């Protein structure tokens, strides 16, 4: 009788060990942070290029900053504005390809949060999981790590041209965006630089005001896009979650595109990613991006009132 009990305990222990191993493998596969790409041998590089080629080089990457518990918001986005256009980057019939990622930090999550996130990732495969604590205080780091990951993926075959950064409480008119990007390219990025400079003094668009950030001796159009709703006279926040105790640049924030939605060219993403360790990180990620790009030449800043994500009206003079 004692021998049977011992065997039974042995089998139970063995089953428990196998189950724990399989469960651990499942979590590892689904929640392994993907902010890094392996760089070991040339064969690994070729493998990553083959994997990323499945995305067919999306023209636009959409980074949607979210929080682990904001599943309802993510589902609303999946069911609403992500449905305005076909975002399947593998469809060769789509001329302007888009690929979206919900960006979430994974450190410090509860077991329930991890299980829910694992299930969601298994179902949608559209979450960029970063090895960091997800909090408002870490938003700037979250954006930087997202840019770093995109820059590395570009080196391994993910050939995007622009990145739209937005939040999970933003609504994006994707059905209009591809046409507007094409217009911006035609009018500003592919035109003679002298002509583009003249537009800064007399923009005909009812929505857009442009600013060419370039050295005086520049003659070739190598402009990189920084497009959003720019705030050019914001006072320094001294209290609340937007408080900036380390801001010493001047008595106002330098002009920056509001974080609810802005677009950057790939080269600006790469510039921020590669110089991340040299940048001062401020509490607000949009303020940080504006400060980092302020001294950089060959930037086309487009102030567009359609990018205004303020929760209430700014009045008649907005």
pLDDT at 5 over 50: no
Higher pLDDT, 282 or 204: 282
User: What's the rounded Cα separation, in Å, for the pair 105 and 19?
Assistant: 27
Higher pLDDT, 147 or 206: 147
Question: 197: burial class by Cβ within 10 Å (0-12, 13-18, 19+)?
Answer: middle
* Same domain flag for 94 and 70: yes
Per-residue pLDDT averaged across 119-148, rounded? 94
In a domain, 52, yes or no: yes
pLDDT in the model for residue 241: 74
- The pTM for the full model equals 0.80
* Same domain flag for 122 and 199: no
Most confident of the ranges 36-45, 94-103, 150-159, 172-181:
172-181
pLDDT at 1 over 90: no
Give tens-digit pLDDT for 279-317.
999 989 999 999 999 999 999 999 999 999 876 555 444
* Same domain flag for 163 and 190: no
Domain limits for position 192: 183-259+266-307
Strand 127-133's sheet: what is its strand order?
A: 127-133, 98-107, 60-65, 162-167, 256-265, 224-231, 299-304, 208-213
* Same domain flag for 194 and 150: no
* Same domain flag for 218 and 191: yes
Higher pLDDT, 234 or 103: 103
pLDDT in the model for residue 46: 45
Confidence of residue 166 (pLDDT cuts 50, 70, 90): very high
> What's the domain count of the chain?
3
User: What's the rounded Cα separation, in Å, for the pair 195 and 203?
Assistant: 11
* Same domain flag for 199 and 129: no
Percent of the chain with pLDDT over 90: 56
In a domain, 23, yes or no: yes
In a domain, 37, yes or no: no
pLDDT in the model for residue 92: 66
* Same domain flag for 120 and 142: yes
* Same domain flag for 153 and 127: yes
pLDDT at 219 over 80: no
Q: Tokens in use for 76?
A: 């609303």
* Same domain flag for 81 and 156: yes
Per-residue pLDDT averaged across 193-201, rounded? 88
Mean pLDDT, all residues of the chain: 82
């Amino acid at each position: 009788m004692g021998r049977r009990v011992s065997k039974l305990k042995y089998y139970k222990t063995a089953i428990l060990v196998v189950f724990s191993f399989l469960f651990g493998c499942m979590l590892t596969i689904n929640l392994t942070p993907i902010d890094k790409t392996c760089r070991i041998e040339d064969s690994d590089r070729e493998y990553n290029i083959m994997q990323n080629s499945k995305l067919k080089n999306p023209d636009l990457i959409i980074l949607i900053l979210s929080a682990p518990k904001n599943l309802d918001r993510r589902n609303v986005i999946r069911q609403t504005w992500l449905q305005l256009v076909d975002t399947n980057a593998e469809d060769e019939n789509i001329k302007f390809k888009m690929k979206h990622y919900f960006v979430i930090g994974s450190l410090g999550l509860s077991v329930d949060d991890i299980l829910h996130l694992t299930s969601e990732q298994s179902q949608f495969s559209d979450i960029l999981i970063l090895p960091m604590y997800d909090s408002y205080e870490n938003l700037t780091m979250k954006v930087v790590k997202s840019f770093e990951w995109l820059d590395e993926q570009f080196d391994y075959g993910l050939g995007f041209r622009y990145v739209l950064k937005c939040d999970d409480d933003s609504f994006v008119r994707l059905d209009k965006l591809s046409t507007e990007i094409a217009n911006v390219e035609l009018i500003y990025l592919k035109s003679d630089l002298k002509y583009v400079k003249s537009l800064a003094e007399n923009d005909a668009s009812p929505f857009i005001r442009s600013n060419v950030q370039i050295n005086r001796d520049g003659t070739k159009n190598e402009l990189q896009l920084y497009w959003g709703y720019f705030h050019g006279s914001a006072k320094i926040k001294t209290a609340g979650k937007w408080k900036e105790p380390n801001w010493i640049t001047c008595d106002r924030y330098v002009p920056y595109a509001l974080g609810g939605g802005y677009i950057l060219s790939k080269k600006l993403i790469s510039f921020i990613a590669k110089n991340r360790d040299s940048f001062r990180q401020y509490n607000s990620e949009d303020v940080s991006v504006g400060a980092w790009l302020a001294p950089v030449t060959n930037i086309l800043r487009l102030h567009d009132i359609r990018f205004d994500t303020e929760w209430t009206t700014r009045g008649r003079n907005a």
